[in-house]
Amino acid sequence: MPVPKRKVSKSRRDKRSANKGLVFSTLSNCQTCGNPVLPHQVCKECGHYKGVKVIRTKSERMYERNQTRQTKVEQGAGAQKDVPASSKE
């Protein structure tokens, strides 16, 4: 049976339990998409802050990454197609 290596000090224990009662009481809604947002923080859903686009969201980065991968694959396929066409001539 696993046993803790060291005693958890009063300080460490109380710091942990201090965070258990935390409640986000000041949630507001994003001006652009309406999702709940912490105050003074960028909306993670749409990347807007006070109605201004500030960051790219994770889904947007994923989309761009997939786009660049697709174009690379298409360019690679096109280059391979060009080689046999030139050899036929």
Member of 27, 33, 38, 62 binding Zn ion (CB under 5 A): 33
| Contact (CB, 8 A) for 17 and 31 | no
Nearest CA to 44 out of 6, 80, 36, 52 is that of: 36
Q: Does 30 bind Zn ion (CB under 5 A)?
A: yes
Among 3-11, 44-52, 57-65, 76-84, the segment contacting Zn ion (CB under 5 A): 44-52
Q: Which of 32, 49, 55, 57 is close enough to bind Zn ion by CB under 5 A?
A: 32
- Residue 32 or 55 with smaller CB distance to Zn ion: 32
**Could you say which residues in the range 48-87 bind Zn ion, by CB under 5 A?**
none
**d(C-alpha 81, C-alpha 84), whole Å:** 6
What Å distances lie between residue 35 and 23, 44, 45, 59, CA to CA?
A: 18, 9, 7, 16
First to last CA, the chain: 75
Residue 41 C-beta: closest distance to Zn ion, Å: 11
Residues in the site for Zn ion, rule: CB under 5 A? 30, 32-33, 43, 45-46
